[in-house]
Amino acid sequence: MKKALNAIGNYFKNIGIAFVRGDVWVKLSAVLMGAGYFARKQVINGIIMFLVEALFVVLCAGYAAPNLAKFGTLGTVQFEQVFDPLTMTSTVNDYDNSFLILLNSIMALFLILVFVLFWIANMKAVYRLQVQKENGEHINTFKEDVQALFNEKFHITLLTLPAIGIILMNILPILVLVAVAFTNYDQQHMPPSALFTWVGWSNFKNLFTDSVTVTFGYSFKKVLAWTLEWAVLATFTTYIGGILLAKFINNKKTKLPKMWRTLFIIAIAVPQFVTLLLVRNFFADSGIVNTFCTSIGLTDFLKNVGLVPANLSYIPFLTNPGWAKVMIVIINIWVGIPYQMLIATGVLMNIPEDQIESARIDGANPFQIFVKITMPYMLFVTGPSLITDFVKNINNFNVIYLLTQDVYVTSDQLLANSNAKEIDLLVTWLFRLTNEYYNYKMASVIGIIVFIICAAFTLVTFTRTIKGDKEEEFQ
Amino acid sequence: MKKTIQAILRHVVLLLLAVVWLIPILWLFVTSFSGYKGINTSHFFPETWTLDNYAQLFLRADSIVQYNKWFMNTFVIAVFTCVISTILVLMVSYTMSKLRFPGRKSLMSFSIILNMFPGVLSMIAIYFILKTFNLTNSHIGMIIVYSAGAGLGFLICKGFMDTISVSLSEAARLEGASEAKIFFKIIIPLSKPIIVYTVISSFLIPWGDFVFAKLMLNSGIATDWTVAIGLFNMLSKSMIAKYFSVFCAGGVVISVPISILFLIMQKFYVEGITGGSVKG
């Protein structure tokens, strides 16, 4: 922490030094970015800097300024279409598109930030040139500067392209998401035909309100509780199951371990959406499993025990809240165990054999060995990935959506009012809110909440990943 | 005697488990040969066997089934995605593994945190950004979605490059090779296994992805879709009675190449999860 503050402090100190000790050319560079280079006979660098500055000014005037001017209101001119019966054409007025204003403003702010950093870097570079000249050191020609990009500055060359991609696909969307959470962007406020605007924290308040008209609070509590339950169940069942299966197959008494392992892997090698959609029909209300259960009398038995409502002639595997939740967890075990088995197999093979051997000589039984030696070792190696798995399960969209979409209908009116279902995770709820109900404002709020939950858990892993970084070990 | 019984019991248990795991796959396979188009709810095996579902898939495209088109779409998207992603991943992992520059550690930490942010959450925003540039319902848009952020997934590849001895690049540097030359002539040839892994895993993304494709390719025109969307659509309520066995046939056809690729890359999968602490 202190180190980081120091680094920031130094960063600004260096600009100050450049300003105070720089000669007239350096000072002129603050306004005309190429100036310092011209003075040191780096003409091409100077021209490039000058062009960058000119481009920025043009972008500011033509793009950033008009958008940022409307950023406070997100647009005021309503979309209007006038039909002219004489020419049989309709004309559209010069309307404001709130979303475009929002998006462009964020990009414009980004542009300005990048330019400021660029400007600071330029000031420092120009000052460095001055110092070099004063000390009579060699000043790079343009050719040498370009060559440096493939040598000591190769990291800049390599990282530029990936960074642009990441900024566009990862950072920008997150910023937009956060911004939308503070607007009233929903089905009644859809650009281009309608405007939306800032509403402050009211969406967040909505999410925690539980009243007759707004049931988001009620749904949020239910969905959040099930999301966490699900994540814990899904993570632990597959983790333990995977270890047990791996141990079972790795046991010396098992013949052909490779063949067994491959059989289980085939089940996950088939794309998930194929298997999950298939399994969903396998367990449909009038599906093949139900036919089977009826014919062997299981359905009647479950009815008698009270596990299946008396008015049904089938087992509601994926249509009754309780059954669906259990089934989803079971089907997820089916999906998840082979993955965990793969990992566990790799780890188990590395358990120091002598430890187990000496424990055996001391008279430990297999169960004791498993609890006292195998598990601690497994947890030590796979602990971080366990938390990653937990976070992945919080966001396990595929299993829930593919198994229940179009099949599961909620009977809870309060949940239905806020477009949620009993079996929804926060992500599937978010997806339905956007994809079917165009309720972007609430979806964004939920997105932020999920992010906070995930971030809290990942920070724990994160410190370990960094600490456990063995990058220098082999070098 | 007791030992033999135990051994038999052990294998019987394994066999039962394997059956449980393979039943859906088997059902997929046999139903793809079913003469009845809907779901057979009374028998596991089809009553009549035929190859007609495959014929319908490949030869008789209609407004709902455009399998050849979907396959081509997904294939093209997958090829571009894997080329772009692999290049981006290699660039970032080499930089992080072999080059030393100020801010490297913090940049790495930052990208690890950023990578933990689930993509599903920001997909609405991604959708609108692409829509602004008129890239929804286009394959270029899909390629961008799958590959643009690929640079963040550098950890596994970097871990591999960390194991390449630094003395090689030191020697090259002494001979006067530039960093770029070291990258292309020394590191890339030595990283072949991890490049194979990166290529396969990014190639598989478009085949398995469902969410983004559903969101982006929403025009309702069947010829635009990827395999995942097309197959999902066949199982919607109004279609399922007429297309279920065709869906199974489609599932079998894409599962074969995908499974093979998956089996090749699964050994790297373990390495990636455990952060290279497994050397087996």
pLDDT tens-digit map of A184-216: 888 888 887 888 889 989 889 888 887 777 788
Q: What is the pLDDT of residues A36-53, one digit of tens each?
A: 888 888 888 888 888 989
- Interface membership of B125 toward A (CB under 8 Å): yes
Which H or E run includes B107?
Answer: helix B104-115
Average pLDDT, chain A: 84
CA–CA distance, B178 with A24 (Å, rounded to integer): 37
Task: Tell me if A271 and B258 make a contact (CB, 8 A cut-off).
Answer: yes
User: Closest to B274 (Cβ–Cβ): which among A171, A343, A430?
Assistant: A343
Whole-number pLDDT of residue B168: 83
CA–CA distance, B38 with A288 (Å, rounded to integer): 12
Non-local CB neighbours of A341 within 8 Å, separated by 6+ positions: A242, A243, A245, A246, A249, A261, A264
Tokens of B66: 């455009």
- The answer to whether B169 and B189 have CB atoms below 8 angstroms apart is no
Split at pLDDT 50, 70, 90, the class of A168 is confident
CA–CA distance, A464 with A461 (Å, rounded to integer): 5
Residue to test with chain A: of B20, B45, B96, B121, most A Cβ within 10 A: B121
Task: Tell me if B129 and A172 make a contact (CB, 8 A cut-off).
Answer: yes
Which residues of B fall within a CB distance of 8 Å from A98? Answer: none
Which residues of A fall within a CB distance of 8 Å from B272? Answer: none
Which residues of A fall within a CB distance of 8 Å from B147? Answer: 165
Which residues of A fall within a CB distance of 8 Å from B34? Answer: none
Say which amino acid occupies B183. Answer: F
User: Chain B residue with minimal CA distance to A155?
Assistant: B95
- Interface membership of A444 toward B (CB under 8 Å): yes
- Interface membership of A336 toward B (CB under 8 Å): no
Non-local CB neighbours of B137 within 8 Å, separated by 6+ positions: B216, B217, B218, B219, B221, B224
Q: B260-269: b or e for each residue (b if 16 or more CB lie within 10 Å)?
A: ebbeebbebb
- The answer to whether A26 and A16 have CB atoms below 8 angstroms apart is no
Phi and psi at residue B123, to the nearest 5°: -65, -30
- The answer to whether B193 and B272 have CB atoms below 8 angstroms apart is no
- Interface membership of A345 toward B (CB under 8 Å): yes
- Residue A395 to residues A179, A242, A343, A390, A398, Cα–Cα distance (Å): 22, 21, 21, 9, 9
- Interface membership of B270 toward A (CB under 8 Å): yes
DSSP A41-53: T-HHHHHHHHHHH
Which residues of A fall within a CB distance of 8 Å from B28? Answer: 270, 274-275, 278
**Residue A473 scores a pLDDT above 70:** no
Tokens of B187: 């590191």
User: Chain A residue with minimal CA distance to B4?
Assistant: A253
Distance from CA of A85 to the nearest CA of B (A): 31
Question: Which residues 352-411 of A have a C-beta within 8 angstroms of B?
Answer: 381-382, 384-385, 388, 391, 395, 397-398, 401-402, 406
Q: What is the pLDDT of residues A404-415, one digit of tens each?
A: 888 888 888 888
Query: pTM of the full predicted structure?
Result: 0.83
Q: What is the pLDDT of residues B217-241, one digit of tens each?
A: 887 788 888 898 888 888 888 888 8
Task: Tell me if A435 and B215 make a contact (CB, 8 A cut-off).
Answer: yes
Q: What is the ipTM of this complex?
A: 0.84
Task: Tell me if A384 and B117 make a contact (CB, 8 A cut-off).
Answer: no
